[in-house]
Amino acid sequence: MSNHLNPNPDLPPEIATAAETAELVVFVGAGISRMVDCPGWDQMANKVLDQLVPNGIDYNELSQITRIADPKKRLSFAKIIAKKHNLSIDYNAIFKATRTAGNVYTYLNRFDSAFITTNYEKHLAPESSAKKPESDWRFHRRQDLLGVHLDKNGNVIHLHGCLDDPDNMIVTTRDYLEHYSSKEVPAFLTYLFAKKTILFLGYGLDEIEVLESIVRNAGMKAGGEQGRIRRFTLQGFFSAELGLANMLDEYYRETFGIQLIGFPKDKKNYSQQVEILAAWLRQMKFGSRELVDEVAAMEDEIRG
């Protein structure tokens, strides 16, 4: 990186080129949804447990379960309890959020690219898909994790499921183990990392474990096309954490071939990303896969 954190980092030329050639995939994590007051893992687990009182557990049991540090384990307990007592969990109520004008999704939804998200809620709704039936561009079932869905701008793929289908949301420890040991998920991630330029958003220090799990399950290592960078992560740090940011950048480059783009969060916290994405959006031109394929076919014909 550098000897300081830039509040307005330059748009990497690789991302600009990927947008024009329809190779860009924006990968959105929980840090983005928290900017519109959606709960993080800890809050989600506790809100799910709260819904089980008093018909599934009493306050004494609630107190004991909430002492468990790992939110996935708490959610695992919650799912077992809910099934045992035939209780339903209202995830929509947990993820209900009010989006004000000019929030982060205002700009993200103007990206005419493909999206992947590990979030359950549906704030990602690209403007380029607004006139289409949602079933044509939003995918959340494991059998829908297909590379072909990454080849169309405006598609949104929920890697861990969606609020529309709570029974198939990837929530518990067992869910994660089964999901990532399936044949579909590793194949999907392998295609993603081999074919696309990826911008990770919302995977800060709290979500590093999730990001590392994703790239490991894709079998990704450093390297690539003779130094061509195709993976980026935008992350915020306090200015005093510059050393940490530089070490993480080196770690991600050497281990996964990911370039870390750091920004300072001293004044606006993670909301600084809104300014960055708005500025990048003004510089980007988005091409379609169909146009790229047509140009490639013409070039082949000329060479032939």
pLDDT, tens digit (0-9, with 9 covering 90-100), for 186-209: 999 999 999 999 999 999 877 877
The pLDDT tens digits of the residues spanning 278-304 come to 999 999 999 986 655 554 444 444 555
Q: What is the predicted pLDDT for the residue at 206?
A: 77
Same structural domain, 121 and 142 = yes
Query: Which helix H or strand E contains 264, and what residues bound it?
Result: strand 259-264
Task: Tell me which of 222 and 131 has the higher pLDDT.
Answer: 131
Q: How confident is the model at residue 210 (pLDDT cuts 50, 70, 90)?
A: confident
Q: How confident is the model at residue 236 (pLDDT cuts 50, 70, 90)?
A: very high
The pLDDT tens digits of the residues spanning 123-153 come to 999 999 999 999 999 999 999 999 999 999 9
Same structural domain, 124 and 240 = yes
- What one-letter code names the amino acid at 56? G
In a domain, 108, yes or no: no
Q: How far apart are CA 152 and CA 132, in angstroms?
A: 13
pLDDT at 173 over 50: yes
Same structural domain, 125 and 229 = yes
Q: How confident is the model at residue 261 (pLDDT cuts 50, 70, 90)?
A: very high
The pLDDT tens digits of the residues spanning 91-120 come to 999 998 878 889 999 999 999 999 999 999
3-state secondary structure of 199: strand
Strand order in the sheet with 114-117: 138-139, 156-158, 114-117, 24-28, 197-201, 231-237, 259-264
- Give the domain range for residue 64: 41-94
Same structural domain, 76 and 175 = no
pTM check: above 0.85: yes
Nearest by Cα to 21 from 286, 230, 297: 286
Q: How far apart are CA 179 and CA 140, in angstroms?
A: 12
In a domain, 65, yes or no: yes
In a domain, 275, yes or no: yes
CA atoms within 13 A on the CB side of 190: 7
For 45, 62, 63, the CA distances from 67, given in Å and listed in that order, are 11, 9, 7
CA atoms within 13 A on the CB side of 79: 18
Nearest by Cα to 142 from 180, 92, 100: 180
Q: How far apart are CA 124 and CA 224, in angstroms?
A: 29
Q: Specify the number of domains making up the chain.
A: 2
In a domain, 59, yes or no: yes
> Is 150 in contact with 158 (CB distance < 8 Å)?
no
Query: Which helix H or strand E contains 244, and what residues bound it?
Result: helix 242-256
In a domain, 6, yes or no: no
Q: What is the predicted pLDDT for the residue at 291?
A: 56
Q: How far apart are CA 273 and CA 269, in angstroms?
A: 9
φ, ψ of residue 25 in degrees (nearest 5): -125, 125
> Is 60 in contact with 138 (CB distance < 8 Å)?
no
Same structural domain, 170 and 195 = yes
Return the percentage of the chain with pLDDT > 90, whole number: 78
Same structural domain, 149 and 23 = yes
State the average pLDDT over residues 263-282: 96
Query: Is residue 285 packed enough to be buried (19+ CB in 10 Å), middle (13-18) or exposed (0-12)?
Result: exposed
In a domain, 224, yes or no: yes
In a domain, 63, yes or no: yes
Same structural domain, 53 and 158 = no
Same structural domain, 27 and 88 = no
